[in-house]
Amino acid sequence: MIKDYISKVEEGKCSAKEIKLIAICLILIGIIIGMILSPARVFTFGSFNGNTGSLTTPDLKKKKTT
């Protein structure tokens, strides 16, 4: 099937629509293969300079009542 299509392209019997469709399919296949084979990236946001950025409020110091 593929050999028949290749010979059809070489002979110039393909329409412009077929060539555009094949080009789009090859681009999409390349993008999918690239996404599958690419390494996973881990992003770190922030400087981690000692600020933990906790969302809890600090405990209030208890006043001594004497």
* Per-residue pLDDT reduced to its tens digit, 5-50: 778 878 888 888 888 988 899 999 999 999 889 887 776 666 666 6
User: What pLDDT sits at residue 14?
Assistant: 82
The CA distance from 51 to 44, in Å, is 15
SS3 at position 63: coil
* Alpha-carbon span 40 to 25, nearest angstrom: 25
